[in-house]
Amino acid sequence: MTRLFNDPAAFADEALEGFAAAHRRWVRPVTGGVVRAAATPAGQVAVVIGGGSGHYPAFSGLVGRGLAHGAAVGNVFASPSARQIHSVAEAAHGGAGVLLMYGNYAGDVLHFGQAAERLAADGIDTRTFAVADDISSAGPDESAKRRGIAGDLPVFKAAAAAAEQGLPLDEVLRVAERAGARTRSFGIAFSGCTLPGADHPLFTVPEARMAVGLGIHGEPGIGEEALPTADEAARLLVETLLKELPEDITDAAGQRAAVILNGLGSVKYEELFVVYRKVAALLGEAGVEIVDPEVGELVTSFDMAGVSLTLTWLDDRLEELWRAPADTPAYRKGALGAPEPDQAPATSRAQDTAVPAVTAVPPASDASREAAATVLAALDAVARVVDAHAGELGRIDAVAGDGDHGIGMRRGSTAAHRAATDAHGLGAGAGTVLARAADAWADKAGGTSGALWGTILRSLGTALGDLDAPDARRVADGVTEASAAVRRLGGAEVGDKTMVDVLVPFADALAAATAEGLSLTDAWDRAATTATAAAARTADLLPRRGRARPHAEKSLGTPDAGAHSLALITRAVHGALLDH
């Protein structure tokens, strides 16, 4: 378990601060993460990677010459926000465009996609690529749905080495696509990880058993088997991966592969070497030539006891890139010569990890400022109910997911209330208060829930505005638009076992009640009752999206964490409306 921490909510930020202080030769901190200590050479594509904390040396430890130009770092097991990613990419940009790379998780896809749009709007040519190497998370016919695990490293390295050679952005992207298509990973675990501040692991494995096909966010495996010997574990890993070769390879014999045996946190180096001894023998028997193998902790999951095996099937070009030198805090290969002098522009060097304060607010009418007080009270109620239920939300989420929903919701709702308080103190109207809260929630929570709650609050803020007195119908229209926006952004629909299963019936009930002429308080009461019932019904659904999808049966009988938290919030907001 994680024993050394202060405030669990501050763990990721404090870990990043300490990392940057310890590795000034390689990196410097910027808002949202780190970039190379020296500026990206003019005309070189910047490869910016990122993801949640809890996986060191991924992602910050892979920043340096020959590998990433920057890393955006999110909260524990949660994607960085679009604002964090934009900040890191802007600092890393060397004038030839940016390739954003990340593991294939819903939150990362949302936030990196939004960041790419913002960078493009700023005139920075940007591409994105999601690594999807975990064969246990989806079948070959659904490979685009696979999550990214330790295969991140060889794919990141191929793209970064191509960038170091001066290739243009689209060529660097093609290299990433080629490496991704030829990378497969599979993992096993003997115990789950425990998040900072938690008193129990995200999942447990029965005595003398192992979980097969686990995820690096504490997602439980897709099955269990008897605890193996080291040789039996090696055989399972190798034989599983050899069953699925890239489409252009029909036989493993005669092929070359980059091989990574990765420790997930508590399986240490001597144990890994015992396993690798058999991995190397089995691959040799299959006729596979191993190229520059890596054995160690490369993509971890706090204290999870487990290992994963990654094979990247090489051609001449990919072998050249895999063998290319690199010099980062956590990954070094070959020789690159003396470090480059610090060429970072003064404005870039001056960035720190604090989000700059925003002081000016748009003009607002007295009626809108009065409504802003009610909005602030509602956000206070949201933060309080989330804080009270954070542990419960985490436990629900851990049944088939990664268990971070309570942590993310607490960080997001607390930040939203703080930003709203600041804006209200400056005389902002209801729309601006909600807009500032939306940005803060998305920025501090990260992950899928951060992106979606930022969208909800921003949709409401747009509907309310800063000039008119909000009425029940306008609020209902804002919730209806929020419902539509969440479905557009996340791609989920009713029945997928997500927050959409509550948001849609809540929005519909609120619209119907206000159309009947009910007051906002009474209409919200009726809609909140509908939301509570809808959240309970998600217990009978099988998830069709997100991290819980590979473990659908395990979630049967348990409500969706995002749906449950939304229902709690709608009822808490009703209490604030009664008081105002």
The residues that are catalytic are 217
DSSP-derived 3-state class of residue 477: helix
Q: Are the CB atoms for 208 and 226 separated by under 8 Å?
A: yes
For the stretch 22-44, what's the b/e string if a residue is b when 16 or more beta carbons lie within 10 angstroms of its beta carbon? ebeebbbbbbbbbbbbbbbbeeb
CA dist 186 and 135 (Å) reads 6
CA dist 153 and 292 (Å) reads 13
Position of tokens 């610090």?
A: 342
Is 479 exposed, middle or buried (CB count within 10 Å of its CB: 0-12, 13-18, 19+)?
buried
DSSP 8-state class, residue 355: P
Name the phi and psi angles at 112, rounded to 5: -65, -35
CA dist 252 and 283 (Å) reads 9
Q: Are the CB atoms for 484 and 455 separated by under 8 Å?
A: no
CA dist 519 and 443 (Å) reads 33
Strand 326-327 and strand 305-314: the pairing is: unpaired
Q: Among candidates 109, 127, 140, 112, which has minimal Cα distance to 174?
A: 127
CA dist 137 and 132 (Å) reads 9
DSSP-derived 3-state class of residue 23: coil
Q: Among candidates 469, 355, 476, which has minimal Cα distance to 422?
A: 355
> Hey, which bits of 54-195 come out as E strands?
70-76, 98-103, 126-131, 183-191
CA dist 576 and 530 (Å) reads 18
Strand 305-314 and strand 183-191: the pairing is: antiparallel
Long-range CB contacts (within 8 A, 24+) of 420-426: 420/375, 420/376, 420/379, 421/376, 422/357, 423/361, 423/372, 424/369, 424/372, 424/373, 424/375, 424/376, 426/359, 426/360, 426/361
* CA 407 to chain centroid: 13
